[in-house]
Chain A
Amino acid sequence: MLEALARGLGYLVSNIAGVLEIVLLSLRVSGAAVAIGLLVGLPVGVAVGVGRFPGRRLAVAAIHTGFALPPVVVGLFVYLALSRSGPLGDLRLLFTPTAMVIAQSLLAAPYVAGITLAAVQAVPESVRQQARALGADPLWALATHLREARLGLGAAVVAGFGAVISEVGAVMLVGGNVQGETRVMTTAIVLETRRGDIAAAVALGLVLLAIAFAVNIALTRLQQGPGSLARSARPAA
Chain B
Amino acid sequence: MSTVRAPAPPSPRTATRAQAPALEAAGLGYRIGSTAILRSVSLRIDPGEVVAVLGPNGSGKSTLVRLLLGLERAPEGTVRFRGEPLAPRAPAARLGLVGLLQRSPLFAGTAAANVAYGLRVRRVPRGERARRVEAALSGMGIAHLAGRDVRTLSGGEVQRVAIARATVLEPYVLLLDEPGADLDVATRRRLLGDLESAVRRGRGATLIVTHDPREAFTLADRVYVLEDGRVSQHGTPADIVADPASPFIAELTGAELVVDGRVEGVREGLVEVAMAGGTRWLAVPASDPGEWPPDAPVHVAYRPEDVALVEPGGDAASTPRNRVELTVAGLAPLGGFVRVRLAGAIPLVALVTRDGADALGLEVGGRVAAHLKAVAARAYPAGHGSVRVGLPAAGQAPGNADGVALPGRPR
* In the assembled complex, A237 has its CB within 8 A of some CB on chain B: yes
Q: Say yes or no: A133-B108 contact (C-beta < 8 A), given A140-B121, A234-B152.
A: no
| Residue in B66, B89, B98 whose CB lies within 8 Å of A134 | B98
B6, B71, B165 interface centre (most CB from chain A within 10 Å): B71
Give chain B residues whose Cβ lies under 8 Å from the Cβ of A126.
101, 103-105
Shortest beta-carbon distance from A224 to chain B in Å? 11
Shortest beta-carbon distance from B204 to chain A in Å? 14
Evaluate contact between A237 and B153: CB separation under 8 angstroms: yes
Query: Once the chains are docked, how many angstroms separate the CA of A126 from the CA of B62?
Result: 12
* In the assembled complex, B84 has its CB within 8 A of some CB on chain A: no
Give chain B residues whose Cβ lies under 8 Å from the Cβ of A136.
117-118, 121
Evaluate contact between B107 and A133: CB separation under 8 angstroms: no
* In the assembled complex, B274 has its CB within 8 A of some CB on chain A: no
Q: Say yes or no: A135-B105 contact (C-beta < 8 A), given A129-B71, A237-B152.
A: no
Evaluate contact between A137 and B89: CB separation under 8 angstroms: yes
Give chain A residues whose Cβ lies under 8 Å from the Cβ of B100.
130, 133
Give chain A residues whose Cβ lies under 8 Å from the Cβ of B108.
147-148, 150
* In the assembled complex, B250 has its CB within 8 A of some CB on chain A: no
Shortest beta-carbon distance from B389 to chain A in Å? 30
Evaluate contact between B118 and A134: CB separation under 8 angstroms: yes
A145-170, CB < 8 A from B: 147-148, 150
Give chain B residues whose Cβ lies under 8 Å from the Cβ of A140.
121
Query: Once the chains are docked, how many angstroms separate the CA of A108 from the CA of B168?
Result: 44
* In the assembled complex, B76 has its CB within 8 A of some CB on chain A: no
Interface size on A, residues (CB 8 A): 22
Query: Once the chains are docked, how many angstroms separate the CA of A136 from the CA of B119?
Result: 10
Query: Once the chains are docked, how many angstroms separate the CA of A132 from the CA of B68?
Result: 13
* In the assembled complex, A144 has its CB within 8 A of some CB on chain B: yes
Evaluate contact between B107 and A148: CB separation under 8 angstroms: yes
Query: Once the chains are docked, how many angstroms separate the CA of A110 from the CA of B369?
Result: 77
Evaluate contact between B157 and A134: CB separation under 8 angstroms: no
* In the assembled complex, A195 has its CB within 8 A of some CB on chain B: no
Give chain A residues whose Cβ lies under 8 Å from the Cβ of B105.
124, 126-127, 130
* In the assembled complex, B154 has its CB within 8 A of some CB on chain A: yes
* In the assembled complex, A231 has its CB within 8 A of some CB on chain B: yes
* In the assembled complex, B169 has its CB within 8 A of some CB on chain A: yes
| Residue in A127, A137, A144 whose CB lies within 8 Å of B94 | A137
* In the assembled complex, B22 has its CB within 8 A of some CB on chain A: no
Which residue of A has the minimal Cβ distance to B104?
Answer: A130
Give chain A residues whose Cβ lies under 8 Å from the Cβ of B71.
129, 132-133
* In the assembled complex, A17 has its CB within 8 A of some CB on chain B: no
Give chain A residues whose Cβ lies under 8 Å from the Cβ of B122.
135
Shortest beta-carbon distance from B93 to chain A in Å? 10
Query: Once the chains are docked, how many angstroms separate the CA of A144 from the CA of B104?
Result: 14
Evaluate contact between B117 and A134: CB separation under 8 angstroms: yes
Q: Say yes or no: A133-B69 contact (C-beta < 8 A), given A148-B108, A237-B157.
A: yes
* In the assembled complex, A236 has its CB within 8 A of some CB on chain B: yes
Q: Say yes or no: A134-B152 contact (C-beta < 8 A), given A127-B105, A127-B107.
A: no
Interface membership of chain A positions 209-237, coded 1 if the CB is closer than 8 angstroms to chain B and 0 otherwise: 00000000000000000000001001011
Query: Once the chains are docked, how many angstroms separate the CA of A180 from the CA of B363?
Result: 97
Evaluate contact between B101 and A130: CB separation under 8 angstroms: yes
Give chain B residues whose Cβ lies under 8 Å from the Cβ of A131.
107, 117
Shortest beta-carbon distance from A176 to chain B in Å? 46
Which residue of B has the minimal Cβ distance to A132?
Answer: B71
Interface membership of chain A positions 171-209, coded 1 if the CB is closer than 8 angstroms to chain B and 0 otherwise: 000000000000000000000000000000000000000
Query: Once the chains are docked, how many angstroms separate the CA of A127 from the CA of B153?
Result: 18
Evaluate contact between A135 and B104: CB separation under 8 angstroms: no
Evaluate contact between A134 and B154: CB separation under 8 angstroms: no
Give chain A residues whose Cβ lies under 8 Å from the Cβ of B99.
130, 133-134
Query: Once the chains are docked, how many angstroms separate the CA of A13 from the CA of B250?
Result: 86
Shortest beta-carbon distance from A58 to chain B in Å? 24
A130, A137, A138, A237 interface centre (most CB from chain B within 10 Å): A130
B163-221, CB < 8 A from A: 165-166, 169, 175
Evaluate contact between B101 and A135: CB separation under 8 angstroms: no
Which residue of A has the minimal Cβ distance to B149?
Answer: A231
Shortest beta-carbon distance from B351 to chain A in Å? 38
Give chain A residues whose Cβ lies under 8 Å from the Cβ of B103.
126
Shortest beta-carbon distance from B165 to chain A in Å? 7
Query: Once the chains are docked, how many angstroms separate the CA of A136 from the CA of B165?
Result: 13
Give chain B residues whose Cβ lies under 8 Å from the Cβ of A150.
108
Shortest beta-carbon distance from B26 to chain A in Å? 21
Query: Once the chains are docked, how many angstroms separate the CA of A144 from the CA of B165?
Result: 15
Query: Once the chains are docked, how many angstroms separate the CA of A131 from the CA of B118?
Result: 8
Evaluate contact between A133 and B121: CB separation under 8 angstroms: no
Which residue of B has the minimal Cβ distance to A129?
Answer: B71
Shortest beta-carbon distance from A197 to chain B in Å? 49
* In the assembled complex, B95 has its CB within 8 A of some CB on chain A: yes
Interface membership of chain A positions 54-76, coded 1 if the CB is closer than 8 angstroms to chain B and 0 otherwise: 00000000000000000000000
Binding site for A on B (CB under 8 A): 6, 66, 69, 71, 89, 94-95, 98-101, 103-105, 107-108, 117-118, 121-122, 149, 151-154, 157, 165-166, 169, 175
Additional A-B contacts beyond A134-B118, A147-B108 (14; CB < 8 A): A124-B105, A126-B105, A129-B71, A130-B101, A134-B166, A134-B169, A135-B121, A135-B169, A137-B121, A138-B89, A140-B121, A231-B149, A236-B152, A237-B153
Sorted from nearest, which 10 A-B pairs have the closest CB atoms?
A: A133-B99, A134-B118, A236-B152, A135-B121, A237-B154, A135-B95, A136-B121, A130-B101, A127-B105, A135-B118
A-B contact pairs, 20 of them (CB 8 A): A130-B105, A131-B117, A132-B69, A134-B98, A134-B99, A134-B117, A134-B118, A134-B165, A134-B166, A135-B98, A135-B121, A136-B118, A136-B121, A144-B107, A144-B117, A147-B108, A231-B149, A236-B151, A237-B152, A237-B154
